[in-house]
Amino acid sequence: MAGTVAATAAGPLLATAAAAQDQTPAPATITRKVKLGVVGLGGRGHWIAGLFAKHGGYDMHAVADYFPHVADEQGTALGVDPSRRFSGLSGYKRLIESGIEAIALEDLPYFFPEQVRDAVDAGLHVYMAKPIASDVPGVLSVRESAKRATAKQRVFLVDYQMPTDPHNAEVIRQIRSGGLGRLQTVFSAGAAGGPTGFDDPPFTENLESRLQKLIWVNDDALGCGYIGNYDIHVIDIVLRALGKVPVSASGWGARFRAEPHGDALDSVCTMFTFDDGMVWNHQSPKGKCELWFSSNGSLAAEIQGSDASARLSYWGKAYLRGGPHHVPGGDVENLYEAGPVRNIATFYEAVTGGHTENESVQPAVDSALVSILGREAAARRTTVTMTDILKENRPLTMDLKGLKA
């Protein structure tokens, strides 16, 4: 079965020519309210829910979180009727049945494939966080669900922020137009867990303690690991700029956080290679990376071509220097908030306008698979090919016994 699934997936991963697009929306014109349900109301989840509410085009109809007190607290803050605040592992199912037309998934990647499948089956529009899954079977499952959403003329948007920045978008347009000449090398940097990392306490009787406060990032199955949860931002933007995916990766990784209990690596060095011989070096230490970048090095990439060089960034500057396609660029400003604000507006316009091209899906599939490829190469400390991980089609599982249904 795994081989069959892998063979189905083995076609061109970058199936779309879409790169980054400046998604700065026009001032919102609210034509109607979209009935929205939000799943996952932890730190970022309740913040994202607040941005949906602030937009003005959404009726905050229902909420779901594993923890009842979180669903109640955030439901109160959002003005959601107590009858439409759901909890437990199956809370999202009751949310789907509550009369919503769109769902925002902001909980753990481990649960995304099943939640996405059920949401699409119910005919809902889907807005979801990255990464779309934590393992290859999950990524392929989400990809198939997204295809069905498009066939049903439903909107499916994955919330990546870097492609929405106008400076990043212009640099990528020029790279894809040949502005660097022949592409040669890429250097990119993450910062696994930030300067201090995430708390990684001992496992308890069940997984409840790991479903909150980003503890789940320490577990590959729950969160796709540090490279898949954080570094995936810069991995995604590099893939959009290059317009192709690597065929293999060689890597090394380790755990440097104090007393690690989860299996996720918090420091990786990975070299991705392409079928034309180009190489891409990615480094993600535990803490801020300034190996190649003088400042704001985390989540940045430098791409060198025969005629010019370019920089893409989450926090710092984006530009293209040299050659006939010079882009002075500028500072990438407030992207952590500005990115989702743009995407929430784009989602609204797509739902109300019937725009179901769903161009964010294939890049999200590519970035998830490449992140998993890098994670596996670093964990195995050897060379792993994309064909390898697709053929293996290896699921990652966690013991959910003892959790509230």
At 141, is the secondary structure helix, strand, or coil?
Answer: helix
pLDDT digits (tens, 9 = 90+) for 5-53: 333 344 445 444 445 555 555 566 899 999 999 999 998 999 999 999 9
Residue 298 has a pLDDT of 79
Residue 254 bridge partners (DSSP) = 267
Instruction: Record the pTM.
Output: 0.93
Distance from C-alpha of 108 to C-alpha of 63, rounded to nearest angstrom: 15
Helix axes of 2-9 and 136-151: crossing angle, nearest 10 degrees: 60
pLDDT band, residue 302 (cuts 50/70/90): very high
Averaged over 273-293, what is the pLDDT?
78
Which residue has tokens 């400003």? Answer: 333
Lowest pLDDT segment from 11-15, 147-151, 372-376: 11-15
Residue 280 has a pLDDT of 98
Length reported for the chain? 405
At 44, is the secondary structure helix, strand, or coil?
Answer: helix
Distance from C-alpha of 12 to C-alpha of 22, rounded to nearest angstrom: 25
Those residues whose C-beta lies under 8 Å from the C-beta of residue 127, and which sit 6 or more positions away, are 102, 103, 104, 105, 155, 157, 159, 343, 344, 347
For 133, the token pair is: 């899954």
Lowest pLDDT segment from 14-28, 187-201, 303-317: 14-28
Residue 128 has a pLDDT of 98
Residue 86 has a pLDDT of 98
Distance from C-alpha of 174 to C-alpha of 382, rounded to nearest angstrom: 35
All structural domains of the chain: 17-162 (3.40.50.720), 165-336+368-392 (3.30.360.10)
The β-bridge relationship of strands 267-273 and 248-254 is antiparallel
For 283, the token pair is: 């480094």
Residue 301 — φ and ψ, nearest 5°?
-140, 145
Those residues whose C-beta lies under 8 Å from the C-beta of residue 196, and which sit 6 or more positions away, are 287
Residue 153 has a pLDDT of 98
Type of residue at 253: G
pLDDT greater than 80 at residue 240: yes
Contact (CB, 8 A) for 82 and 75: yes
